[in-house]
Amino acid sequence: DAGVIQSPRHEVTEMGQEVTLRCKPISGHNSLFWYRQTMMRGLELLIYFNNNVPIDDSGMPEDRFSAKMPNASFSTLKIQPSEPRDSAVYFCASSLAGTGIHEQYFGPGTRLTVT
């Protein structure tokens, strides 16, 4: 298996532009997580899905952020409009829920820079 795949790996955009981050989880996994990591705030959980359904989006900073999971093999995180303070590394992770273990597998991340 190729592991969790994220695209793009790097994104540089100007303030006000829309940004879409993409994630393909490991095949067979039924939970998907979006995290944001910065030096100041560390690793923050933004939202997670179980069986394609959003379970907890309390970490989503504000209405500018939205996430979808239209099927078991694809998820997007959208920021519209983007702001410089959104600059961070965004990670997607997946796991297999129902085993009681919930080990998460992380993608390589998308480094977002908003100028």
Partner 1 sequence: SQQGEEDPQALSIQEGENATMNCSYKTSINNLQWYRQNSGRGLVHLILIRSNEREKHSGRLRVTLDTSKKSSSLLITASRAADTASYFCATLHTGTASKLTFGTGTRLQVTL
Q: How far is the CB of 65 from partner 1 (least distance, A)?
A: 18
Q: Are 16 and 81 in contact (CB under 8 A)?
A: yes
Q: How far is the CB of 93 from partner 1 (least distance, A)?
A: 8
CB nearer to partner 1: pick between 13 and 50: 50
Helix, strand, coil tally for the chain in percent (to 5): 5, 55, 45
Give CA–CA dist 102/63, Å, rounded. 29
Q: How far is the CB of 25 from partner 1 (least distance, A)?
A: 12
Beta bridge partners of 32: 49, 94
CB nearer to partner 1: pick between 63 and 103: 103
Q: Which residues bind partner 1 (CB under 8 A)?
A: 4, 31, 33, 42-43, 45, 48, 50, 55-56, 91, 93, 95, 97, 100-109
